[in-house]
Structure 1
Amino acid sequence: MARTIFTTITPLPAGVTREVVLETLHDHLEMIDLNPTHTERHRIGPPPEATPEEYHCTWYQITDKISYLPGVKGSVSFKTCFHNLSNGMQNHVYAPMGLDIKEKWTLGGNLPGEPVMPAEIGIGAPVTGLYLREDIEIKCNFLVTRFVKKQLQDALATLVARLVVKTQLQEASFRNQMLQQQGYENSPQSPYFSPPLSPPLSGGLEMQFPRHSFKQQQQQRFSTQTAVSEMDGSQKSPGLASNHPEGIVELPS
């Protein structure tokens, strides 16, 4: 059996957050489904070959369609366990024909505004920004090693692409929530915006005429109304009342 050990460093695009990466690494089913050759997976209990440490991990049985050699196709089932870390996840695959794969995914690096921590030398880690580190140990027939490494590389590329899309979706959801809290529906930029009704016209006459003219007209109107009211049938003219004791006017014949 050949034993192969290698480390892969993958810088993450700007905008990807720690929360998104760790949430994805801790989602075991999502990590399993990174490989399109897997056709079935379900939870199982720890198998007899589990080590004392791995006995308490989360175990799955996975069915995979295989094509290791030209013209050789079929399916195979194997067991794998997952163990979450504070900064990543460990995975151990027990497959037939002595195939044994150990993976450890960890999140490293720093975000803008965070202190730059010393990075391990010799692995090609970026000085700034977040990155995924994948440490892999493979034990298998040397004829299968290349095939397994190709599958792992494809799964890594799929993972990074999903992290980018998941980050974009979360950012869009967050922006929508902020806009709703700020009353975006009532802003002119919203497609649902309708301008408020025009306020009632106040002081319209004052807008058409000078202020002093309007007051003078009001005073004149009030004086006229008062004079008309006083000359109503219930009131007698002072001049006519002085010509007759009973206030009756006699017209000449």
Structure 2
Amino acid sequence: MSLTRHLVFSTSRPLPNSSRPAALSFLHNHLAMIDTNPLVVSRRRIPPPAPDNDAATQWYAITDKLFGGLTTVEYTCSMQDTPTGLRTHCRAPLGVQIAALWTLEGDEALSLREDVDLQCNALLAPFVKRTLLQSHATLVELLAQETRPKE
């Protein structure tokens, strides 16, 4: 019996008053995307793990705070721009892997869809999914604020 759990889920959140060009520009700004995540305490660009890696993919080492800041976890994340958003793949300790596709949808009523493929230990899965959903909800709220037209 395998202790690995594979979860696939999606979220879609509105981006009220955001323009598609502004939202796409934000998604393609990897440092802004990383820094907007409320769990992130540090990040740095790293070289790709293999020389034949796609040049369009950028790699980062990211440190998140967990359990209210009682502990931290460092992981690697690849980020690749797409015509409609961003593709990410994060690899964390204990076999946690999170692949996500962020896609802008709609024209007048713009929304941001995140399709997630999560693989991790079955005992960690509820915590990882809950933490990801909470932090990304905050990230999207902040993204929406940043991409609204300034008055």
Classify the TM-score, shorter chain: 0.7 to 0.9
Question: What does residue range 14-29 of structure 1 map to in structure 2 within 5 Å?
Answer: 15-29=17-31
Shift of 1:40: 1.3
**Mapped partners of 2:55, 2:6: distance in 1:** 24
Shift of 1:152: 2.2
Q: Residue 79 in 1 paired to residue 58 in 2?
A: no
The alpha-carbon distance between structure 1 residues 85 and 140, as it changes in their structure 2 partners (threshold 3 A), is same
**Mapped partners of 1:156, 1:75: distance in 2:** 18
Q: Higher strand fraction: Structure 1 or Structure 2?
A: 2
CA contact (8 A) 2:37 2:136 kept: no
Structure with max Cα Rg: 1
Identify the residue that residue 171 of structure 1 maps to in structure 2.
150
Classify the secondary structure of the residue corresponding to 1:91: strand
* Percent identity between the two aligned chains: 38
CA contact (8 A) 2:38 2:139 kept: no
Q: 2:12 aligns with which of 9, 13, 30?
A: 9
Identify the residue that residue 60 of structure 1 maps to in structure 2.
60
Identify the residue that residue 183 of structure 1 maps to in structure 2.
none
Shift of 1:33: 2.0
**Mapped partners of 1:65, 1:30: distance in 2:** 18
Unaligned runs of 5+ in 1: 68-72, 112-128, 173-253
Identify the residue that residue 198 of structure 1 maps to in structure 2.
none
CA contact (8 A) 1:38 1:64 kept: yes
Which amino acid in structure 2 is aligned with residue 46 of structure 1? P
**Mapped partners of 1:84, 1:59: distance in 2:** 12
Q: Residue 110 in 1 paired to residue 107 in 2?
A: yes
Q: 1:31 aligns with which of 30, 33, 37?
A: 33
CA contact (8 A) 1:35 1:151 kept: no
Which amino acid in structure 2 is aligned with residue 106 of structure 1? T
After TM superposition, the runs of 4+ consecutive aligned structure 1 residues lying more than 3 A away are: 52-56
Q: 1:139 aligns with which of 114, 119, 125?
A: 119
Identify the residue that residue 93 of structure 1 maps to in structure 2.
90
**Mapped partners of 2:75, 2:143: distance in 1:** 27
Shift of 1:53: 5.4
**Mapped partners of 2:54, 2:64: distance in 1:** 22
Normalising by structure 2, we get a TM-score of 0.84
**Mapped partners of 2:104, 2:76: distance in 1:** 25
Question: What does residue range 194-233 of structure 1 map to in structure 2 within 5 Å?
Answer: none
Structure number with the bigger relative contact order (C-alpha 8 A, sep ≥ 6) is: 2
The alpha-carbon distance between structure 1 residues 147 and 35, as it changes in their structure 2 partners (threshold 3 A), is farther
Classify the secondary structure of the residue corresponding to 1:143: coil
Shift of 1:94: 1.2
Alpha-carbon displacement from aligned partner over 1:46-70 (angstroms, at most 9, x marks no partner): 114x9x5556510001122334xxx
**Mapped partners of 1:137, 1:167: distance in 2:** 27
Q: Higher helix fraction: Structure 1 or Structure 2?
A: 1
Classify the secondary structure of the residue corresponding to 2:140: helix
**Mapped partners of 1:54, 1:97: distance in 2:** 26
Normalising by structure 1, we get a TM-score of 0.53
CA contact (8 A) 1:54 1:81 kept: no
CA contact (8 A) 2:11 2:114 kept: yes
Shift of 1:93: 0.4
Shift of 1:154: 2.3
Which region of structure 1 is more displaced relative to structure 2, 133-142 or 150-159?
A: 150-159
